[in-house]
Chains A and B, each alone.
Chain A
C-alpha cells in the first residue's frame, strides 16, 4: 500500500518533533563550539577547544560515564531479574493476585525527585528507620549515603524500587500473551520448574525482554533525579553520573559552552552504544 497520503499521517508528528528539536540541537552544537560561561555569556567561536579539553583533560567526565554505565547496567539487570521474578509469580493464579499486581506497579507512578526525598530520610544514617531497625537487630549503622561504595548501591536500590514496575509491567504483559502449549509440553516431558524456565519461559520471552531492556537502558542512562536528591553525586564523586556532571557544569558552574560539548559527546556515545547493545542483545538472546 503506498499513497501520497502517507505523508499526511507521518508529517504532523515528524515535523512537530523536528520543529521543536531542530533549534535546540543546532544550538547545542553551536554552543559546544563556544566559550559561553557565567562571565562571558556570548556565542564566541573557540573552535574545538572544548572538545580538546574534554578528551585530554577531563577524567571526571569519563569517570562519571563509566560510573553511569555501571549504575545503569546494574540497575537494569536487577530490574529485569526482579521484574521477571515478580511477573512470574503473579502470572498464574495466586492469592490476592490483583492486589499484588497493583502494588507492584505503584512505584513507577511516583515522581522520582519527590520520592527520592522520602528515600533520603529513609536511609538517613542516624535519623532514618533503616539503620534504626537494623540496629534493633544488632547490626551496626550502615553508611547508606556516605560510604562511596555503599552509596552507589543505595542509588541502585532506589532506582530498582522506582523502575522495576516498568519491567514488571512489560514482562507480565508478555507472559500473559504466551501460548500455553510449550508449558504443557515441558510438563509432559517432566521438566522441573527450573528447566521449564530456562528452556521454555525464558526463550519465549526473549524478544519481549530485549525490548524492555533496551527501553529501560535508555531511561536509566538519564539517571539524575535520584542522584541529585539522594547524594548530590557524593560522597566525593562516588555517585556522579554523566547527566549529573553535565548538570553541574552547566547549571551550577554555568560553563554552558563546555556543558554543551559534554552533552553532544554524551549523546553521540549513547546513541552508538545503545545501538550496539541492542544488536548484541538480539544476538545473544534470540540467536538468529
Chain B
C-alpha cells in the first residue's frame, strides 16, 4: 500500500514538474530558432536538431527600426508601475483592512462585511468592463499614457487583494495587543504603526507578493491606456504578435518577463518553509 502510494506520489510529482517545466523548455529551445527551424518541422535540441541563433534574444534589445523590440524601458516601466501601485495599495489596503478588522461600521444596512465585500468584489470586474470608462476617466484627468495613470488604475486592481489578505491577517492578531498599546498611551495611529504593523510582517509580505504578481501580469489596462510615452512589458511583448509571428523572440521575451518573479517564488517558498506564512495565508 504505502509503496504504491510512494510510487504514485513521485510519479505524479515528476509528471507535474515536467508539465510545469515543459513550456519553459520549449520556450528556451524556440528562443534560439529562426523562421526555418520553426516552420519546416518540429525541432527540439539546438545544434542537434537545428542551428541555433541568438537573433531571438538580440531582438529584445534591438531598435524596432532593425526589426527589434526594445524592451529595456518597458521593463523598468513595468517594475516601476507594479511596485508603486503595490506599495500604495498595500498602504491604503492595510489601513482599511485594519479598520474593518478592528472597528464596527454601520451605515444603513451596510456593515463591515459589506464594506469588505465591496473591496474584494472589485476583482470580479473583468478588465474589459472598465477599460473604456478608465480611458475616458484618465483622459479627463490628463493621465492617459502616463505611468501615474497606470498606477491609479492598478490600485483598483491590487487594493482588493491587499484588503482581502490583511483583513484575514488582522483578524488573527489578538485585539488585546492594540488595546494594550492604547492603554499604554498610544493613540490609535501610534498603536497601529508602533505595535500592529511590526507584528504584521508576514501578512504584508503575502499581500505584497500577490500585489506584485497581479500587477506584473496585467496586460489589458496597460494595453488600452498607453500610447507612445509609456509602454509596459507585456504590451511590448504582445506587440511582437505580427502576422508573421517571431516565435523565437516571443519565447525569449517570455523568459525574460518571468525572471523577476521567479525571485518572488523563492522568497515565498523560503517563508513557507520557515512557517511564517502559514498564518498569513489561511
Q: How far apart sit A127 and B182, CA to CA, in the bound complex (Å)?
A: 67
Q: From residue 224 to 261 of chain A, which have CB atoms closer than 8 A to chain B?
A: 224-225, 229, 242-243, 246-247, 250-251, 256, 259-260
Residues of B within 8 A of A13 (CB): 92-93, 95-96, 119, 159, 163
B276 to chain A, nearest CB (A): 10
- B47 interface hit (Cβ, 8 Å): no
Residues of A within 8 A of B102 (CB): 1, 6, 9
Q: From residue 139 to 181 of chain A, which have CB atoms closer than 8 A to chain B?
A: 161, 169-170, 172-174, 176-177
Q: How far apart sit A113 and B95, CA to CA, in the bound complex (Å)?
A: 33
Residues of B within 8 A of A79 (CB): none
B220 to chain A, nearest CB (A): 7
B138 to chain A, nearest CB (A): 10
User: Given known contacts A6-B102, A221-B124, A222-B124, what 6 new A-B pairs fall within 8 Å (CB)?
Assistant: A9-B102, A9-B103, A24-B134, A176-B278, A222-B125, A243-B129
Q: How far apart sit A129 and B28, CA to CA, in the bound complex (Å)?
A: 13
- A57 interface hit (Cβ, 8 Å): no
Q: How far apart sit A219 and B216, CA to CA, in the bound complex (Å)?
A: 15
B247-A121 in contact (CB<8A): yes
Q: How far apart sit A26 and B100, CA to CA, in the bound complex (Å)?
A: 26
Q: How far apart sit A85 and B22, CA to CA, in the bound complex (Å)?
A: 20
A169-B281 in contact (CB<8A): yes
Q: How far apart sit A149 and B22, CA to CA, in the bound complex (Å)?
A: 24
A259 to chain B, nearest CB (A): 8
The closest CB in chain B to the CB of A30 belongs to: B133
B188-A5 in contact (CB<8A): yes
Could you tell me which A residues sit within 8 Å of B by CB distance? 1-3, 5-10, 12-14, 16-17, 20-21, 23-25, 27-28, 31, 82, 85-86, 89-90, 94, 97-98, 100-115, 117-119, 121-122, 127-129, 131-132, 161, 169-170, 172-174, 176-177, 192-193, 207-208, 211, 215, 218-219, 221-222, 224-225, 229, 242-243, 246-247, 250-251, 256, 259-260, 263-264, 266-267, 270-271, 274
- B75 interface hit (Cβ, 8 Å): no
Q: How far apart sit A23 and B152, CA to CA, in the bound complex (Å)?
A: 13
Q: How far apart sit A102 and B273, CA to CA, in the bound complex (Å)?
A: 11
Q: How far apart sit A101 and B269, CA to CA, in the bound complex (Å)?
A: 7
B268-A169 in contact (CB<8A): yes
Residues of B within 8 A of A128 (CB): 42
B219 to chain A, nearest CB (A): 4
The closest CB in chain A to the CB of B223 belongs to: A113
A109-B213 in contact (CB<8A): yes
19 contacts between A and B (CB under 8 A): A9-B95, A9-B102, A13-B95, A20-B155, A85-B12, A90-B13, A109-B213, A110-B217, A114-B238, A114-B254, A115-B23, A115-B258, A173-B281, A174-B278, A176-B278, A177-B278, A222-B125, A224-B128, A251-B131
A118-B265 in contact (CB<8A): no
B237-A173 in contact (CB<8A): no
Residues of B within 8 A of A9 (CB): 95-96, 98-99, 102-103, 188, 192
The closest CB in chain A to the CB of B112 belongs to: A10
Interface bits B247-282 vs A (CB < 8 Å: 1, else 0): 100110110011001101110110011010111111
B272-A106 in contact (CB<8A): no
Given contacts A21-B156, A114-B253, A127-B42, contact A121 B9 (CB under 8 A): no
- B38 interface hit (Cβ, 8 Å): yes
Residues of A within 8 A of B127 (CB): 222, 224, 243
Residues of B within 8 A of A169 (CB): 268, 272, 281
Residues of A within 8 A of B273 (CB): 97-98, 101
B38-A109 in contact (CB<8A): no
Residues of A within 8 A of B26 (CB): 118, 121-122, 129
A262 to chain B, nearest CB (A): 9
Given contacts A1-B175, A6-B102, contact A173 B277 (CB under 8 A): yes
Q: How far apart sit A101 and B95, CA to CA, in the bound complex (Å)?
A: 32
B94 to chain A, nearest CB (A): 8
